[in-house]
Structure 1
Amino acid sequence: MKKLLLSLFTLLLAGVLTACSSGEDATETEDTADNSSATEEDGAAEGTEEESGEGNGGFLWKVESGDTEMYLQGTIHLGNDDFYPLDPAIEEAFDSADVVLPEFNLLEETPSQQEVLEYATYEDDSTLEEELPEDTYAELASIFEENGLDLESMNEFQPWFVEMMLLELVTMTSDVDSQAAVDLYFLEKATEDGKEIVSLESAEEQFEILSGYSMETQIQTLELAVDGYDEAGEEMEELADAWLKGDIESMESMSAGYDEAGINDEYMEELNDKRNMDMANSLDEILQEDSGQVYFVFVGTAHFTVDPSIITELEEKGYDVEHVY
């Protein structure tokens, strides 16, 4: 159950971790983009003999409507330079696209620090210490102290935001991070190639989901994150490895058994179910327009593997969704 929350956040929310990352600046983002491009060029030169189905990543589907083609790529909101380039099937699908559709454009739509703070802080005089159970607060304070941080300085922040900070601390102990995420890789390539970018959601919508959870749900998910902190770095690497191998069964198992965690139903309804239905409706509208263009959709993998998923929603609308790789 501890692994569940880690998997869901890194497979469902595109920009929250990136926007909440502390100590990141524009220079680092630019360096990541340069490194990704260089790695891609090197990988292309070294991997010219690599066949589709033998490279990094997976989770690629395709749906057609008339003269319109749409690729559906499940991503992970983490990565490192060794991820790229991805499998030829994925790279070719991306290259063929006229329009790309991310959850939202992280390069242009990430909220400012002030906007994030407005979502993250309490609207009244409540404090984190008052809201959390005493033992959870003490354990969290110990984790922060280990990382040179003072939890008391975080008392004005809601549990969901502190959980995001905890997840960022986990990435610092692993060999993957949010600044080399697969989403950013595609967005940087799309920008460089001059492709049209159309967001399926907005950054504000994702922050509103997290900040809109009841306090009970926020506390429950933060408690799970605190309980699983010691194993989280290793589990994050396992998650990344499963994504790189295109291991659907492993990815699904990491998100299985949610009900056993005892978290309020609103958690998955808001984080996954409603969003998948809304995104599937948006994709349905595009497919019905039948513009004759090629579209490349890239959203967190769980949106395609956790029911009700985008794929099951499209299938219910009558589309034949093919698993490419």
Structure 2
Amino acid sequence: MKKFLLALSIVLFLGVLSACSGDEDASETENEEEEPVTEEDQNSEEAVEEEEEEESGEGNGGFLWKVESESGDTEMYLQGTIHLGNDDFYPLDPAIEDAYDRADVVMPEVNLLEEMPSQEEMMAYATYKDDTTLEEELPEDTYADLASILEENGLELETMNEFQPWFVEMMLLEFVTMESEVDSQSAVDLYFLEKATEDEKEIVSLESAEEQFEVLSGYSMETQIQTLEAAIDGYEDAPEEMEALAEAWLEGDMEAMEDLSNEDAETEINAEYMEELNDNRNIDMANSLDDILQEDSGEAYFVFVGTAHFTVEPSIVTELEDKGYEVEHVY
């Protein structure tokens, strides 16, 4: 399950933008049709807000940390997200919503609303650079199991032969989300990106989409085949596991998320996988956040990246602590 937790960020790259655009248009239409807010409505909303403040720490979500610059003038909130969701997720706990509201600058892994590679660039990452085919790379039984999954989803395996294993794995993850009660189009990351865009907050990405694609497409073929085999082996149970992961995130249940992450600890994946997808990226992101804290602009920052980046060591939290910062677990 750890592989799903860490790799799900790329699921967002497989077609979410068109859906987001449609949602945004619908939202604009709804806003145009809203009735004027009466004094009674305003009083009612204020009462709800006061009630939410009293219940902070008991609502949806969790995994919120805070760190400050040495002077205390620059504050930074670190929000662990899940790259999935549904309408029932929102709003999140008041502690999280307040941290977002306080921010002058929001910092996602990637601004998916503006920084996506073109389809041509994506295909360059996804396909083989020579005449190699997926059928040649995969064991015969794995290839047959993959054929069954693709046929269930209306695809013929022969049409996938030009794609590298990492990209086929991402397609399987997207199929899994469609079978579950959560989806990438309602992801927590997109929730904050859409709010930040509407609120005209400054958005500064910690990474680029190109960098993330380079990580996934840059794995050795041995690692790519191993992770694809793991995805195929766990395909039937994956929707239920995703829903359990989403529930654990909503409840802020660190122990449950760790248990889910360790369920397939016996799966042998090269050390290269975690080193590139988690370790190196966490170190780089922590260094970027350290630069901001040392610059000490006096602004408030809201950093939101996948929860594993704050919990799987070497994590952003432990890297900042090693640099001498006191990182407070807020919720």
Give TM-score scaled by structure 2 length. Answer: 0.90
| Aligned partners of 1:97 and 1:296 also within 8 Å | yes
For structure 1, which segment, 147-156 or 257-266, has the greater mean C-alpha deviation from structure 2 after superposition? 257-266
Q: Which residue of 1 aligns with 2:7?
A: 9
Q: 1:4 and 1:36 mapped to 2: Cα distance?
A: 35
Q: Is the 8 A contact 2:109 2:305 kept in 1?
A: yes
Q: For 2:23, which of 24, 32, 38 is the aligned residue?
A: 32
How far has the Cα of 1:34 moved from its partner?
6.3
Match of 1:17, as an amino acid? Answer: V
| Residue from 266, 275, 298 that aligns with 1:269 | 275
- Secondary structure of residue in 1 paired with 2:106: strand
Q: Is the 8 A contact 1:33 1:185 kept in 2?
A: no
CA–CA separation in structure 2 for the residues paired with 1:278 and 1:182: 22
Asked if residue 20 in structure 1 is aligned to residue 11 in structure 2, the reply is no
Deviation of 1:36 after TM superposition, in Å, equals: 7.9
Which of 1 and 2 has greater Rg? 2
Distance 1:36 1:182 in 2: 17
C-alpha separation between the residues in 1 aligned to 2:122 and 2:319?
32
Q: Structure 1 residues 84 and 99 mapped into 2: Cα distance closer, same or farther (>3 Å)? A: same
* Counterpart code for 2:326: D
Change (3 A) 1:187 1:289: same
Q: Which runs of 4+ in 1 moved over 6 A?
A: 34-38
Q: Do the aligned partners of residues 308 and 29 (structure 1) sit closer, same or farther apart at CA in structure 2, a change above 3 Å counting?
A: same
CA distance in 2, matches of 1:244, 1:202: 27
Partners of 1:306 and 1:6 in 2: how far apart? Answer: 13
Query: How far is 1:30 from its partner?
Result: 2.7
What residue number does 2:33 align with? none
Correspondence for 2:66 among 48, 62, 67: 62
Shift of 1:7: 2.2
Pick from 220, 224, 239 the counterpart of residue 218 of structure 1.
Answer: 224
Deviation at 1:149, TM superposition (A): 1.0
Partner of 2:92: 86
For residue 25 of structure 1, report the CA deviation from its aligned partner.
6.0
Structure 2 Cα separation of the partners of residues 322 and 25 of structure 1: 34
Distance of 2:169 and 2:27 partners within structure 1: 28
Q: Trace 1:85-234 onto structure 2 (pairs within 5 A).
A: 85-234=91-240
Identity of aligned residues (%): 74
Q: 1:228 to 1:259 in 2, by over 3 A?
A: closer
Question: In the alignment, is the contact (CA less than 8 A) between 2:147 and 2:156 conserved in 1?
Answer: yes
Whole-Å separation in 2 of the counterparts to 1:289 and 1:115: 35
1:53 and 2:53 correspond = no
Is the Cα contact below 8 Å between 1:243 and 1:251 reproduced in 2? yes
TM superposition shift of 1:261: 2.0
Structure 1, unaligned runs of 5 or more = none
Aligned residue among 301, 310, 331 for 1:295:
301
Displacement after TM superposition at 1:81 (Å): 1.1
2:253 is aligned with 1:247: yes
Unaligned ranges ≥5, structure 2: 31-40
Shift in Å, 1:258: 7.2
Aligned-partner Cα distance in 2 for 1:25–1:71: 26
8 Å Cα contact 1:252/1:306 also seen in 2 = no
- The 1:36–1:284 alpha-carbon spacing in structure 2 relative to 1, beyond 3 Å, is farther
Shift of 1:237: 0.4
Distance 1:70 1:25, change over 3 A: closer
Change (3 A) 1:191 1:25: closer
Evaluate the alpha carbon distance shift between residue 236 and residue 36 of structure 1 in structure 2; reply closer, same or farther with a 3 A threshold. farther
- In the alignment, the residues of structure 2 paired with residue 36 and residue 300 of structure 1 have an alpha-carbon distance, to the nearest angstrom, of 26
Paired with 1:161 and 1:151, the residues of 2 have a C-alpha distance of 13
Conserved? CA contact 1:72–1:296, under 8 Å: yes
C-alpha contact (below 8 Å) 1:77/1:183 kept by paired residues = yes
Contact 1:57 1:87 in 2 (8 A): yes
CA distance, structure 2, for counterparts of residue 235 and residue 147 of structure 1: 20
**Which residue identity is paired with 1:131?**
E
Residue 7 of structure 1 aligns to which amino acid in structure 2? L
Relative to the length of structure 1, the TM-score reads 0.92
How many residues of Structure 1 are paired with residues of Structure 2 in the alignment? 313
- For 2:303, what is the secondary structure of its paired residue? strand
